[in-house]
Amino acid sequence: MGLHRPAVALLALLALAPPALAQQQDALKKEMVGQWELSTTERSKTCVMTMKNEGASQALKLELEPSCAAALPFTKDIAAWSIKGLDIVRMQDASGQPVIDFTEVESGIFEGLRQGEGVYILQNLAAARSLARSMDQMIGDWQMVRGNGRPICGLTLTNTEATADNFQVFLKPKCDPAVAAFGPAQWRLERGQIILMSKAGDTWQFEADDNAQWRRVPDTADGLIMLRGQ
* DSSP notation for 155-171: EEEEEEESSSS-EEEEE
Q: 42-65: per-residue pLDDT in tens?
A: 777 889 999 999 988 789 999 999
pLDDT at 136: 76
Write down the pLDDT at residue 27: 84
* C-alpha–C-alpha distance, residues 188 and 169, integer Å: 10
* Overall residue count recorded for the chain in this entry: 230
**How high is the mean pLDDT in each 10-residue block of the chain (230 residues)?**
52 55 79 92 86 88 94 95 89 95 88 93 83 76 88 92 87 92 90 88 86 79 79
pLDDT of residue 13: 45
DSSP SS3 for 24:
helix
CA dist 125 to 51, 198, 226, Å?
11, 31, 29
Contact 81, 90 (CB under 8 A): yes
Q: Quick one: pLDDT at residue 1?
A: 45
What tens digit of pLDDT does each residue of 101-130 get?
A: 999 888 788 999 999 999 999 998 887 777
Per domain, the residue ranges of the chain are 5-125, 139-228
Taken in order 33, 38, 90, 194, the sign of the CA dihedral is: negative
The DSSP code for 26 is H
> Which CATH architecture describes the domain 5-125?
Beta Barrel (2.40)
pTM of the model: 0.56
pLDDT at 80 (0 to 100): 96
